[in-house]
Amino acid sequence: MDKNAGHLNQGGMIDDEKTARIILEDFRSGKLRKNQFGGTVKLEFIERKKEAEEVNMLSPLVWAYIGDGIYETFIRVNLVNGSNAKPHKLHIESIQHVKAKAQADILKKLQDSLSEKEQEIVRRGRNVQNHHVAKNANVADYAMSTAFEALIGYLYLTKQDERLKEILELSWKLSNN
């Protein structure tokens, strides 16, 4: 541990004021949450360094790049949590959730529940010039899936974790109907 970051004493208690301030700041910012034992758990193990203003300046394709990974991981974890299937079967099932057509359908169903800012993110993601040719999707579905992934990536990068969780959970429900 960095000697300037403070430390815990032998009883597991915070030993200096600087450490206490850092922990309180992390708790207030949402980086720490209380667990069921009354202690705190650091949630952010992959540090998101960019501020919202910087994220707004990124290409929607960058948002979609991150959103693709976040959504794929979310789907995989949900499949593993709900099944004891072998990896090949999990992979086949995950494809049904993450393919462009499925994401486009989800986004169409979500549209009315999105804020104006989220609809703007979706519009920018849908309209971005993407020179990639979709392998198994039509152009419209591919554009909508890019928009969906851009929204997920934007929410993740701007640390809107509660809203991201809401949209991911609603997406899971919609993709299982």
Residue with tokens 């290409």: 59
Token pair of 109, please? 């169903």
Q: Does the active-site annotation cover 2? A: no
Count other C-beta atoms under 10 Å from residue 168's C-beta. Answer: 18
Q: Give the torsion through C-alpha atoms of 58, 60, 64, 70, to 10 deg.
A: 50
Distance in angstroms (rounded) separating the CA atoms of residues 121 and 115: 10
Token pair of 172, please? 């899971």
Distance in angstroms (rounded) separating the CA atoms of residues 71 and 77: 10
* Given 2, 15, 68, 161, the catalytic residue: 68
Q: Where are the beta strands (DSSP E) in 35-116?
A: 40-42
Catalytic annotation, residues: 68
